[in-house]
Structure 1
Amino acid sequence: MRVVFTGHVIEWRGPSPFYFATVPEEQSADIREVAVTATYGWGVIPVEARIGEMTFTTSLFPKNGGYLLPLRKAVRKPQGLSAGDDVAVEMTVRL
């Protein structure tokens, strides 16, 4: 399943700070439709994502009925992304 969206970069300040791109409601609803077949546990959804020229694999985290796309430092820094930015994402949910 291919998903394209623009998400807002947020910082989660837990014990170990991390950054995420929020998946908009419309795309989250589409992902929820295939979540049962895609998840490998705990509700996380494996994906291959592309931001700019960088492609990476990760898993979406469920949050308040939507999803968050983790953005590792190795992804954020080359793209110049920080909290508050909007980011264009192309993503494939791995079924």
Structure 2
Amino acid sequence: MRYRFTSEVRRWEARRDDWFFVDLPLDASAEIHEWADARPRAGFGAVKVVARVGGTSWSTSIFPGASGVYSLALAARIRRAESIEPGELIEAEVELQG
């Protein structure tokens, strides 16, 4: 399953200098929850994905939040490679693995 979406880059307030995320849409998150509930998962309810932003792709995990929406972390190397700034709207894609 593959999801392409546009989301605003946000800082994680608990660690403002280190962590940036984009949130998947609610409908995509609901489908992923249903898919993931039928499979063994990693800690924190993580789901393994291949993520893509611009010309950069990487293996990572998405994590469910309290609101039920999954979030994709954007590491510094990804942000630098794609010139991504906090508050920017970006297009991202995740493909579920496993």
TM-score normalized by the length of structure 2: 0.87
Give 1 or 2: higher strand fraction. Answer: 1
SS in 1 for 2:31: helix
Separation in 2, partners of 1:55, 1:38: 24
1:85 aligns with 88
Aligned to 1:13: 13
> Structure 1 residue 21: deviation in Å?
0.8
Q: Deviations over 1:35-70 (max 9, x none)?
A: 121622320111101111100111111112111100
Tell me the equivalent position of 1:59: 61
Counterpart-to-counterpart distance in 2, 1:7 and 1:45: 19
**Counterpart in the other structure of 1:32:** 33
Give % identity: 32
Return closer, same or farther for 1:34/1:12 CA change in 2, 3 Å cut-off: same
Partners of 2:53 and 2:32 in 1: how far apart?
19
| TM-score, length basis structure 1 | 0.89
CA RMSD of aligned residues (A): 1.5
Cα separation, partners in 2 of 1:38 and 1:53, compared to 1, 3 Å: farther
> Aligned equivalents of 2:40 and 2:89: distance in 1?
26
Instruction: Provide structure 2 residue ranges, at least 5 long, that are not aligned to the other structure.
Output: none
- Consecutive unaligned residues in structure 1, runs of 5 or more: none
8 Å Cα contact 1:38/1:45 also seen in 2: no
Name the structure 2 match of 1:4: 4
Length, aligned pairs only: 95
